[in-house]
Structures are given as C-alpha cells and as structure tokens.
Amino acid sequence: MAISIFQAWRNEVGAGVAPTQQVGEQLHSAATMLPVKKSPPTYRTVLAKRGLVVRDTLGSGSYSKVKLAVYIKPEDQDTQVYPNQVAVKIIDRKSAPRDFQEKFLPRELEMWPHLSHPNIVQMLHYFTEGYRVYMILEFIEGGDALRYIQNKGAVSESTAKSWVHQVCRMKMSIGTCCKSDVTVAM
C-alpha cells in the first residue's frame, strides 16, 4: 500500500524527525501541479485599466462603496474621457439584495445618465465587470447635505427653504426628462 507524501511527512514529523530533502521536494512539486484558481481582479485593478487611480473612500454602505479617483489619461488616448477627479460608486452584486438588483439598479442605470440638473450629481459612465457594477460620477467637493448637517449642525430656516425649493425644482426637472413615474423622498 502506497502512502501519500503528506502521510510520509506526518510520519517523520510525528517521530520527531525533520522531513527529508526528498519529501520536501515531493511536496514542492505536488504543490506546483495543483490547479490555481484565479481570483477576480480587485476594483483598483479594474479601474486602473481605465486610467482611474483610487485615492480615498468617500462613503460606504452594506453592498456598495464610493471612492474618490484621479483620472490619468493613458498615453494612447487622444481625448480626456473624465474630469481629473471623479467619484466611483462600486456595487457588489454578490452582497446586494435581489430586489435591488432586479428593480432598483436597472432603473438607476437607465435613468441617471439622462438627468441633467445643477443639484444632481452627473453619472458620466457605468460598466459591469465580474460581479461588480462601476458608476463613474461627477465628484462634488464638500459632500452631501447629510454630511453638511452632521458637521455644521442645524441649518437656518432660510437655508432649509432654499434646499426644499431646489429639491422641488429638481423633482420637476426629473419629471420632465423621464417617462417613468419618479418620486423624490424628502
């Protein structure tokens, strides 16, 4: 009865003897013959291939994260595809709930690129690679309203009125450019 390389090594180690050179060589050659499962590329690698170098995390959720990236135009490209800084929303479809993937994500990808309003972050491009969806977005310095309030505290009544007015104008803008029934939660 033949014993495996691992059993031979275990027998030598169990007897208090270091494995022989021959067993070590057999272990090395057996390990190099094992099929290597290639892991999917990291989001940094995927974005780097498109000229985007990830700098910081701007935000994160249970199945997505938003990264700040700097666009470096590849030498073989004639035109600048993106602004110098962009936000990249990366959605992990393995973690995202089914209803989000089937209902909300397709609608977001269909409608957002067509929205044009000063108070809506512009989607410049999106693509899917592997199990991730990448949304290349306009980077807005200063963050969103929630972070503003968390950092500065309550806003004045006149500022709140101005924001509500802007949201109402934005809703009217969305309503005129989209065929679907869209509501904006307040």
Q: Are residues 60 and 93 in the same domain?
A: yes
Give the pLDDT score at 33.
Answer: 61
Rounded Cα gap, residues 26 and 20, in angstroms:
10
As given in the structure block, the two tokens for residue 77 are 């490209």
The continuous run of DSSP H or E covering 70 comes out as: strand 64-71
In degrees and rounded to multiples of 5, residue 63 shows phi and psi of -140, 15
Position 183 confidence tier, pLDDT thresholds 50, 70, 90 = very low
Give the pLDDT score at 64.
Answer: 95
Query: Residue 61: inside a domain, yes or no?
Result: yes
Asked if residue 91 has pLDDT above 80, the reply is: yes
Residue showing tokens 């959720």: 61
Strands 64-71 and 85-92: what pairing? antiparallel
- Candidates 89, 103, 67; CA nearest to 133 is 89
Structural domain including 152 reads 145-177
Average pLDDT over residues 67-72: 94
- Percent of residues, the chain, with pLDDT higher than 70: 73
Rounded Cα gap, residues 109 and 77, in angstroms:
26
Query: Residue 134: inside a domain, yes or no?
Result: yes
- Candidates 68, 65, 43, 42; CA nearest to 54 is 68
Q: Are residues 55 and 132 in the same domain?
A: yes
In CATH, what number is assigned to the domain containing residue 67?
Answer: 3.30.200.20
Is pTM beyond 0.85 here? no
